[in-house]
Amino acid sequence: MGTHRRPKPPSRTRIATLGVAAGAVSLLPAQSQAAPKPSVDEVRKQVEKLYEEAEAPTEEYNAIREKQQKLQREVDGARDRLARKQQEINELREQTGPLAAEQYRTGGIDPSVQLFLSSDPDEYLGKAEALGRTGHRQAAALQALESRQRELAQERADAAQRLTALEEARARAEAKKDEVQSKLTEARKLLNSLTAEQRARMAAAQQRADAAAGTSDAPTSYTGPASGRARTAIEFAYAQLGKPYEWGATGPGSYDCSGLVGAAWRSAGVSLPRTVQQMYDAGRKVARSDMQPGDIIYWYNSSQHNGMYVGNGKAIHAPRTGKNIEIVPVDTMPFFAASRP
C-alpha cells in the first residue's frame, strides 16, 4: 500500500501571481461594459429609425380609434332604443291592468251559464259583447307586450355584444398607444443623451439637409395650377405649414400624415377615410406621370405615410414627431403610388 503524499502548498510568489491575474480578470467585464457613446450621426439615424417605426402603429391606432368611435355611437344608439322599448313596455303594462281587472270581475264563468242565470238576457248580451271587445283588446295588448319584451331582450343581447366589442377596441387602442409612446420615449432618451452642443450641431445638420433637399415649412400661399376642390384642399394644407406633427391628431393645432390629408379634403367638402391604408384602398389610382395637384401620394408602401401633391414635383405632408408640416420634393422618400379622391 503506497503512502499518500499531500500536495505541496503554493509558494508566496505563485499566490501573488494568481492574485494579480484574478484582479486582471475581474477588471475585464468593467472594461468591456464601458462602450463608447454613439456619435451624433449615429444618434440621428437611430432617432429617425424609431420615428419611422412609430408610423405604422400610429396608423393602426387611427384605424382602431375610428372603429372604437363607431362602436361607441352604436352602443349609445342601443341604449336609447332600450330606454324607448322599456317605456313602451311600461305603458303597455299600465294598459293591460284595467283589462285584466275587468276580466277578473266576470269570474271566468262560462258565457252560456251566465246567460242562463241572467235575469235580463238582453242586458247580459250587451255586456257580453262589450266584454268580448274588451277581451280582444286585452289579447292584442298582451301580444304587443310580449312582442316588445322579445324585442327588448334581443336589443339587450345586441347591446351587450357591442359593448364587449367596444371594450376590446379600447384595449387594442391602448396597446398601440403604448407601442407608439415606447418608441417616442426611446427616441427622446437618445436625444437627451447628447450634450446641448451636440444637439445644436444635429439641428444645424438637419437644417442644411432640408435646405439642400428643398424642404420648407415656412408659411406661404399656393400659386399652383390646381382648381376647384383640389385647390381648396391644397390651400387648406398650405395654411397648416409650420404646425407640428402629432401622432393621432387631425387638427386644428397639429396633425399626423393622414390627419392632414383628411382635413384638407374635408375643407373642400370631400370626406375621406381616416387612415393611409383606407385612403389608398378608396382612391382611384393614378400613374405618377398623370398626377395632378391635390392627388394623394403614398410613400414606402400603401399604409405607412402619405401627403398631397402640389405640382412642380413637390408635395405637402406632416412628416414625423419633432418636425412640422412642410413642402418637400416627391422623391424625398421612396414613392409608392398616388390616388385621386
Residue boundaries of the structural domains of the chain: 40-192, 215-340
Active site residues: 257, 305, 317
Q: Could you count the other beta carbons within 10 Å of the beta carbon of residue 208?
A: 10
Would the pLDDT of 130 be above 60?
no
d(CA 165, CA 170) in angstroms, rounded, equals 9
For residues 5-21, give the mean pLDDT: 44
pLDDT given for residue 24 in this prediction: 39
* Lowest model confidence (mean pLDDT) among 24-38, 151-165, 200-214: 24-38
Strand order in the sheet with 305-311: 284-286, 335-340, 296-299, 305-311, 314-317, 326-329
End-to-end CA distance of the chain: give it in Å, rounded. Answer: 102
pLDDT given for residue 182 in this prediction: 96
pLDDT digits 0-9 by tens, 258-302: 999 999 999 999 999 999 999 999 999 999 999 999 999 999 999
What CATH class has 40-192? mainly alpha
d(CA 278, CA 270) in angstroms, rounded, equals 15
- Lookup result for grid cell 391644397: 234
* Lowest model confidence (mean pLDDT) among 2-11, 89-98, 282-291, 316-325: 2-11
Residues 6+ away with beta carbon under 8 Å from 324:
217, 241, 242, 243, 244, 245
pTM of the model: 0.70
Would the pLDDT of 206 be above 80?
yes
Quickly name the fold that domain 215-340 has: endopeptidase fold (from Nostoc punctiforme) (3.90.1720)
Say if CB 330 and CB 309 are below 8 A apart.
Answer: yes
- Lookup result for grid cell 390627419: 259
